[in-house]
Amino acid sequence: MSRFIQNLLLPLLLILSNGFLGWLINQLPGKQDLKIDDPIIILLTVACILALFIIGTIPSQSQPSATPGNQNWLVGFLPLLGGGILFGLLKGKHVAAEFNSAVFYTSLVLFGLGTVLPPVLILPRQWQNRLVWVPPGLGLAVMLYFILRRQWTASFLALVVTVILMLFIHAIKFLIPVTNQLTPKFRAKRQQLADSLANWIWNEIENFTSPFQQQYYQSLTYICRDYQTQGLDRDRTLKLQKVFVPLKISATEAANTNPNMIQPLKDEGNNSNETQIWDFLAKIDKNNLEVWRMAVLGAPGSGKTTLLRYLTHTYATKQERKVHRKAPQLIPILLYLRDVRQEIVNNHQLTLADLITQQVQQQHQKYQLLNPPPNWFAEKLRQNQCLVMLDGLDEVADATQRQQVSSWVDAQMGAYPDTAFILTSRPFGYKTALLQQTVTVSEVQPFSLRQMQQFLHSWYLETEVMSRAGQNDMGVRAEAKQQADDLIKRIKNSKPLADMAVNPLLLTMIATVHRRGSALPGKRVELYREICQILLEKRQTAKNIADALTATQKQSVLQVLAFELMQRKTREFKISDGIDWIKDKLADVAGSGANQENFIQQVRDVSGLLVEKEVGVYEFAHLSFQEYLAAVQIKESNQENLLIGNIKQSWWAETIRLYAAQSNASNLIRAVLAMPSPSVEEMALAYDCWDEGLSVNPDIRQQLEQILEQGLNSTDPEIAKLAAQVQLSRRLK
């Protein structure tokens, strides 16, 4: 379109303006009346011909690398509009007779400018800067000519016209950058409105032609609309979209991911490698399979599952284009691998479409919605219309099963090569079952200072609104802001709190403790301890709920349950199994008449530390609680050798860290150092135990120091990077 305008419309407008200019000149008084000498007329004519020739030849001779002229050459036709208006007023006899000549000459000058300016504006910038002063220069020359002829009225009019020309030139110089700034904004707004209208029309068509898809999206909204607080606040339900803070992720190598849960709180940086998930999705290209397939790794509580739930809800409510203008329009599919692992392990021939159909049928039975039509998901996958999100590879605890699930995921990626996949996992869990397909491995980044502040302000506001039955006025907002600002100030003034606040789960715990008026702990293990106290006793006390057991007694029972689950390498348990595992311990603390099923249900209903996934099937609200309680049980029962025996198992890594935070970590570190060739992951775990451990023997510290110094000079990039990360972490503390 721009080429058509420049090649056809510009010459046409120039021809018309030149023709009208010639007609206007023909209306001028005769030469005898103006008393202009013939040489002057010939000189002006030759000058005009030379100017037009130069203007016509310069663009074709300019070098390709020369700075192009301003493309808003249509602005140059504005004088034509002004001249036309003045001439119309003159012809319509709306101008007083004494001003006829002045108005006529002004319109003539404007038409002359409108004829010359457009071709000038398409010249290279340097030529524009030279030619822009030619009209004022000619005006001054004309004024000087009339002064020499002692024609004072004519010279004054020439001066006025020259001043007008100079003002007009400066106005044009001002308007051009303004239009340059406004044009892309108007274009983007126009495109946004067009996209919104097109999306609305398409959504209406989809709703009319595919009632199942509409109900499928509705079921996803039911599942993903709430912010999961992992049992931290059962009194109110927060909306995910209200409190979600976009996570920063950065592409990395799987072997180089940092497994540390605690990293220093940092201010907003300018790391070009960090971006949001939408930026990855917006780059989806059928010729770039790495962008279609992502493995998102992150520490416990870093927000991986929440990220997938947020993506699912955004797509289910068809808001993706509002979040990112270039986001692809896909059908979201969210599968929790720990929930479907058994189906995958039992049937290696199970297809992705069949598995999705099974899961959706179970969901729709719960909500009494339509079941998917035959082969609906298979067809959508074949047409590359889906975004498949697979959460929690690391939560497939058994290493053999995890490898089988990873191989199945590889097979599905191969079966649907142009379908978008996102897999999440903790780093250790992924490294033990790497995908063989080409994927972009990315790592969830810790919260920055700005993200931490944004989350706390949103969390406190929504918590206050929900606690006041939805009331949201200036008073509620002021109260929420005051509490959030107070906590932010405390976090900034406390290095231990700041180190924990980079993790979304720990930050939610800190906010929960702060809002209930409890003292803020200085270490992660102390934070878990305080949260368990709040959930198991302080909440009931605040509500005047009578309870025969103290928080310590209830926790001792849950420790046994968590320890049993860790040993069985699973998160979920049937209530019948849970009853068998806790009956002896519950009898010890509550007497032989205690009802185990009632205990589990009370923890579920009142404390929220346990959740019922489906009828009769329970799990801890978050794997981190299970790992912490198991670590406490191991410490109290003096079973450190169990951890030493599982030092190579990624399933136990977080429990080992939390145990070290309560004990002398020397034996755990010594077990790693005694290995013939410990892996990078095992050495990273040893450094974590050194860093978080309650105490470490001097000889072990010295050995680690020596290994650290050697690692900084290692030729192995993985070892060198690990050593550098540990060294940096120690300097920041």
The count of other CB atoms within 10 Å of the CB of residue 629 is 27
Residue 550's φ and ψ, nearest 5 degrees, are -80, 170
Closest alpha carbon to 659 in 547, 534, 562: 562
Q: Place 22 in a pLDDT band, splitting at 50, 70 and 90.
A: low
Q: Distance (Å, rounded) from C-alpha 445 to C-alpha 457? A: 20
Question: Over 90: is that where the pLDDT of 129 sits?
Answer: no
Q: What is the pLDDT of residues 445-463, one digit of tens each?
A: 999 999 999 999 999 999 8
Question: Over 70: is that where the pLDDT of 638 sits?
Answer: yes
Q: What is the pLDDT of residues 367-381, one digit of tens each?
A: 888 788 889 999 999
Q: What is residue 1's predicted lDDT score, i.e. its pLDDT? A: 43
Question: Over 70: is that where the pLDDT of 503 sits?
Answer: yes
Least confident of 14-23, 68-77, 688-697: 68-77
Residue 299's φ and ψ, nearest 5 degrees, are -70, 165
Q: What is residue 524's predicted lDDT score, i.e. its pLDDT? A: 86
Closest alpha carbon to 613 in 583, 578, 652: 578
Name the burial class of residue 396, with classes exposed (0-12), middle (13-18) and buried (19+) by CB atoms within 10 angstroms of its CB: buried
pTM value? 0.67
Least confident of 14-18, 74-78, 696-700: 14-18
Q: What is residue 522's predicted lDDT score, i.e. its pLDDT? A: 80
More confident residue, 264 or 576: 576
Q: What is the dihedral of CA 298, 302, 308, 309, to 10 degrees?
A: 160
Q: What is residue 285's predicted lDDT score, i.e. its pLDDT? A: 57
More confident residue, 478 or 101: 478
Question: Over 80: is that where the pLDDT of 114 sits?
Answer: no
Question: Over 90: is that where the pLDDT of 15 sits?
Answer: no
Mean pLDDT of 134-147: 76
High-pLDDT (> 70) share of the chain, %:
75
Q: What is the pLDDT of residues 703-724, one digit of tens each?
A: 888 887 777 777 777 777 777 7
Q: Place 357 in a pLDDT band, splitting at 50, 70 and 90.
A: very high
Six token digits for residue 542: 């605040």
Question: Over 90: is that where the pLDDT of 309 sits?
Answer: yes
Q: What is residue 141's predicted lDDT score, i.e. its pLDDT? A: 79
Question: Over 70: is that where the pLDDT of 77 sits?
Answer: no
Q: Distance (Å, rounded) from C-alpha 470 to C-alpha 464? A: 8
Buried/exposed code over 234-250 (b: 16+ C-beta within 10 A; e: otherwise): beeebebeebbbebbbe
Q: What is the pLDDT of residues 653-690, one digit of tens each?
A: 999 999 999 999 999 999 998 988 887 788 888 888 98
Q: What is the pLDDT of residues 41-67, one digit of tens each?
A: 555 555 555 554 554 454 444 444 434
More confident residue, 55 or 283: 283
Closest alpha carbon to 622 in 300, 234, 243, 247: 300
Range with the largest mean pLDDT of 32-41, 211-220, 284-293, 482-491: 482-491
Is residue 333 within 8 A of residue 387, CB to CB? The reply is yes
Q: What is residue 34's predicted lDDT score, i.e. its pLDDT? A: 47
Question: Over 80: is that where the pLDDT of 519 sits?
Answer: no
Least confident of 67-76, 324-333, 356-365, 577-586: 67-76
Q: What is the pLDDT of residues 169-228, one digit of tens each?
A: 777 677 777 777 777 777 777 777 777 677 667 666 766 667 888 889 999 999 899 887
More confident residue, 406 or 285: 406
Question: Over 90: is that where the pLDDT of 11 sits?
Answer: no
What rounded mean pLDDT belongs to the chain?
79
Least confident of 114-123, 166-175, 510-519: 114-123
Q: Place 316 in a pLDDT band, splitting at 50, 70 and 90.
A: very high
Name the burial class of residue 287, with classes exposed (0-12), middle (13-18) and buried (19+) by CB atoms within 10 angstroms of its CB: exposed
Q: Distance (Å, rounded) from C-alpha 116 to C-alpha 14? A: 8
